[in-house]
Structure 1
Amino acid sequence: MNHGTTASLICPACGQAFLSMQHAMEGMTQCPHCAHTAPRAQFGTHAQVAGVAQVLRRVAQAPPPQEVPPPAPAPQFQPPAYFPSSVPQPQPQQAWQPPPPAPVQIARGTLQHSQALMPLHAPPPHAEFTESQPHQHQYSPWRNVVFMLVFMGVCGVSLWLWWNHANTPAAASREATSQAVPEVRKAEVVAPATPPPARIALQDTQAFAADAKALVNTFFAATTPEARAACVHEGAKHSAEIEALFGPEASRKIELRQLAHLPGVVQTLPGGEHVPLFKLITSRCAHGALLRLEPDADGKRRLSWPLLAETHQDALGQFLQQASADSAWFHVAMRPSHGLDLPAGLRSKYLTFDVQTSAASEPHFVACVERDTPLARFLDRESDWGRVYLSRLLVRKLDVEADAPCMIIVDCEGAVAR
């Protein structure tokens, strides 16, 4: 018999022994000799049957019980008729002992099924079943250590994979993106990419400032019309106007007070080119006229006369003070605005710009153009919020009650493509 795996059982029906696999006591077991099926607890083992046989042998070999006579009654004391000289002493009584127990009679009806099948005088079997602990329940002391090492290894590998994924160089991702070729399907409409914002090519402000200083000093120190015209862009064309304002024929001589570069970036509209702008303060223009340089045919920079003359004499302010409905061209500095100077009912009707013709905040004007017109769409497309532009506009006076003089933009120089 293989200990711990099989057991030698006795069938309660036929009394024959057979080998059976170990299982629970409530499990069903079938005898291979007579096909009797019953729970495992009803099938006895050789060890149980051998124990019953030993008990039966000891009962059979026990000597017959001996009859014990009943104890004699105690003598009663009777006083004698005379008093003898010597009184007899009472005899000590012996203690009563119970009889030995009668032999136990064991009947086959009182035994278990497996015990009743064992012959009375059969020798006990030599092989006994001994239940041993299965091998699978005997754990090794290194089991917990091995599990802990495996768990730590898995955690370490997971942490390394996460760190490697989180710290992947950005260059590798960009290279993978550049190598990936997007699939373009015929049914899909690819929207045009938004062009990047145009970068402004800034001019050399210091070089412009040096040229402006030299030209202005020469212009105010000149004593002949030719010398003054030589400092102005297309001087021969504007010679008469120059002499009428700064020549000896002027009502009074104009003196130079200050020349300074205006901070910020000023752009042309249209075009968006950077234009260094200067402030020129004279004895007749306390707010400061606007001054810029333009390249001449010989490549040298010279003073721009139309901008200087109009801003020095406040030509736009004088035009708006007239009651005429005519239109005129003027050089102005402008930037987009919300039109808060206009009445609330007109703000949604016009696209508005703040206009200045001096280096100071005064005088201040409002230029308007009707929305949903080609000119309004052109100006809205060419201008950005927060930027200052230098442009030449054809304007007409707008008679409305507003906080500042207003005008209608009729046209813009250079607005050919609308």
Structure 2
Amino acid sequence: MNSGTTTSLICPACGQAFLSMQQSMEGPVQCPHCAHHAPRNYFGTYAQVAAVAQVKRRTAQPYQLQPEYQPPPEAQPFPPDSSVHGPPGAWQAQVPPASIARQMLQPSQALQPVGAPPPALEEFAPPAHLRSSSWRNALIMLAFTAVCGITLWFWWDRVNAPAEQPGGISAAKAEVPSLPVPVQPQVARAQFPPPDTAAIAADAKALVTELFAADSAVRRAACIHEAEKFGAEIEALFGGGGAQKTELRLLARINGMPLLLPSGQPVPLFRLVTSTCANGALIRLEAGADGKRRIFWPLLYETHMAKLEAFSRQAADEPGWFHVGIRPSHGLDIPAELRPKYLTFDVQVAAGGEPHFVACVERETPLGRFLDRETDWGRAYLTRLLMRKLDIQADAPSFLVIDCEGAPER
């Protein structure tokens, strides 16, 4: 076969090369391998496939400038016979350019663009808020200089300060007038030695036994401290005979040791149960001028006769003095809205704990501040209070404390 009238084509379907006669681009061509039938311009030439391979190799190497690819000149086919295909000018006009032949290749064989030089790297510009300002640096330096200058000035002023004149400060202080500072009166608590409870208990037993066994007013008065003040009451309670005579049932010491208010002296306390006082009266001993201990009559008489209980039943609103035992409380027996106003105490007037009373004193008064300062939680106290009935809705009979015997503040 004459090579001048044939050309090597590549089948776009199977990729096999075969020889074909030279003809126009619109002429039909059939692949002898896979029988693919298509116009001539759908089949690529061998030279075009080689050019595609070279372009792929160049594009696989980035950032390297390659000279522009120049495809090799194709072998010009002999012009066909003018008697069959017409004049040569007409045949040459029908030959498509190389660009059209490239476009007819399959996508897998399409020409790729020649590798272009990489774009120039742009210089990184930081954001506006991160850029340092010359004004900012200048202000920082100015502030630093000012701080250093002020520090240096203080140091220089301190080092070169004039020496103080002796006696200058004392003279200046002497010119300041001294104002009297109000001193809040307080009760100075004496330091009492612990009482001899065994000796006091023995004295209490002997005195109570003698009081109930005495057959004369003189013998009974010998058992009472300052008996000359309470002779009538002593005889009315223990001087009766026959069926009216008060009989002794029990004498026992009460646990704990209350303090006398306001002195703070600890005293043992005893319970006395008689035929006319089942709850038990309160007894404590008091030392006289001769050093002997005797029964403190006001506490025994008021608790034995239940004077405070009788006072709570009276309709009159007059105040009265009473010897009582008190203990600080949270005021749960009175309404909640009154608790911030009053300082409250549980009142004990019988050894058995009943009846139960509540003593209230206004906090923002001298007496309220005194009792708040002189009493401690968990402590019991023996004192004498001036009280009147407090008309409030409470769970227990309540009294308003007006005065406390021996208190410097009222």
TM-score bracket for this pair, using the shorter chain length: 0.5 to 0.7
The TM-score, its normalising length taken from structure 2, stands at 0.53
Matches within 5 A, 1:116-265: 201-248=193-240, 252-265=244-257
Hey, what's the Cα distance between the residues in 2 that align with 1:199 and 1:226? 36
Tell me, what secondary structure is at the counterpart of 1:409? strand
Hey, what's the Cα distance between the residues in 2 that align with 1:297 and 1:198? 19
Tell me, what secondary structure is at the counterpart of 1:236? helix
Tell me, what secondary structure is at the counterpart of 2:272? strand
2:349 to 352, 357, 375: 357
Tell me what 2:335 maps to: 343
Identity score, percent:
62
Alpha carbon RMSD of aligned pairs, Å?
1.9
1:274 equivalenced with 2:266 (yes/no): yes
1:288 equivalenced with 2:266 (yes/no): no
Aligned length, in residue pairs: 224
Check whether the contact 2:370–2:407 (CA below 8 A) recurs between aligned residues: yes
With over 3 angstroms needed to count, the CA separation of the structure-2 counterparts of 1:391 and 1:251, relative to structure 1, is farther
Tell me what 2:297 maps to: 305
Tell me what 1:62 maps to: none
Question: Shift of the alpha carbon at 1:340?
Answer: 0.2
Aligned-partner residue type, residue 365 of structure 1: F
Tell me, what secondary structure is at the counterpart of 1:400? coil
With over 3 angstroms needed to count, the CA separation of the structure-2 counterparts of 1:382 and 1:220, relative to structure 1, is same
Question: Shift of the alpha carbon at 1:250?
Answer: 9.1
Tell me what 2:146 maps to: none
Hey, what's the Cα distance between the residues in 1 that align with 2:208 and 2:271? 11
Check whether the contact 2:367–2:409 (CA below 8 A) recurs between aligned residues: no
The TM-score, its normalising length taken from structure 1, stands at 0.52
Check whether the contact 1:243–1:249 (CA below 8 A) recurs between aligned residues: no
With over 3 angstroms needed to count, the CA separation of the structure-2 counterparts of 1:274 and 1:374, relative to structure 1, is same
Check whether the contact 1:243–1:250 (CA below 8 A) recurs between aligned residues: no
Question: Shift of the alpha carbon at 1:201?
Answer: 3.1
Tell me what 1:414 maps to: 406
Hey, what's the Cα distance between the residues in 1 that align with 2:409 and 2:368? 12
Aligned-partner residue type, residue 324 of structure 2: V
CA deviations 1:295-333 (Å, max 9, x no partner) are: 112110001110000000110010011111101100000
Hey, what's the Cα distance between the residues in 2 that align with 1:248 and 1:344? 49
2:318 to 313, 326, 335: 326
With over 3 angstroms needed to count, the CA separation of the structure-2 counterparts of 1:213 and 1:405, relative to structure 1, is same
With over 3 angstroms needed to count, the CA separation of the structure-2 counterparts of 1:372 and 1:289, relative to structure 1, is same
With over 3 angstroms needed to count, the CA separation of the structure-2 counterparts of 1:380 and 1:230, relative to structure 1, is same
Give unmatched runs, 5+ long, in structure 1: 1-185, 187-196
Question: Shift of the alpha carbon at 1:400?
Answer: 1.3
Tell me, what secondary structure is at the counterpart of 1:228? helix
Hey, what's the Cα distance between the residues in 2 that align with 1:263 and 1:235? 28
Question: Shift of the alpha carbon at 1:348?
Answer: 1.3
Question: Shift of the alpha carbon at 1:265?
Answer: 1.9
1:404 to 396, 407, 410: 396
Question: Shift of the alpha carbon at 1:360?
Answer: 1.2
Tell me what 1:317 maps to: 309
Hey, what's the Cα distance between the residues in 1 that align with 2:316 and 2:242? 28
Question: Shift of the alpha carbon at 1:249?
Answer: 6.6
Check whether the contact 1:233–1:302 (CA below 8 A) recurs between aligned residues: yes
1:376 equivalenced with 2:376 (yes/no): no
Hey, what's the Cα distance between the residues in 1 that align with 2:202 and 2:229? 25
CA deviations 1:155-206 (Å, max 9, x no partner) are: xxxxxxxxxxxxxxxxxxxxxxxxxxxxxxx9xxxxxxxxxx9976321100
Question: Shift of the alpha carbon at 1:344?
Answer: 1.3
With over 3 angstroms needed to count, the CA separation of the structure-2 counterparts of 1:269 and 1:204, relative to structure 1, is same
Hey, what's the Cα distance between the residues in 1 that align with 2:404 and 2:329? 18
Tell me what 2:48 maps to: none
CA deviations 1:3-50 (Å, max 9, x no partner) are: xxxxxxxxxxxxxxxxxxxxxxxxxxxxxxxxxxxxxxxxxxxxxxxx
Hey, what's the Cα distance between the residues in 1 that align with 2:236 and 2:259? 31
Hey, what's the Cα distance between the residues in 2 that align with 1:383 and 1:245? 34
Tell me, what secondary structure is at the counterpart of 2:316? coil
Give unmatched runs, 5+ long, in structure 2: 1-169, 171-188
Tell me, what secondary structure is at the counterpart of 2:347? strand
Hey, what's the Cα distance between the residues in 2 that align with 1:380 and 1:211? 34
Question: Shift of the alpha carbon at 1:237?
Answer: 1.7
Hey, what's the Cα distance between the residues in 1 that align with 2:325 and 2:306? 13
Instruction: Specify which structure has the higher proportion of helix.
Output: 2
With over 3 angstroms needed to count, the CA separation of the structure-2 counterparts of 1:306 and 1:367, relative to structure 1, is same
Check whether the contact 2:270–2:282 (CA below 8 A) recurs between aligned residues: yes
Question: Shift of the alpha carbon at 1:349?
Answer: 1.2
Tell me, what secondary structure is at the counterpart of 1:254? coil
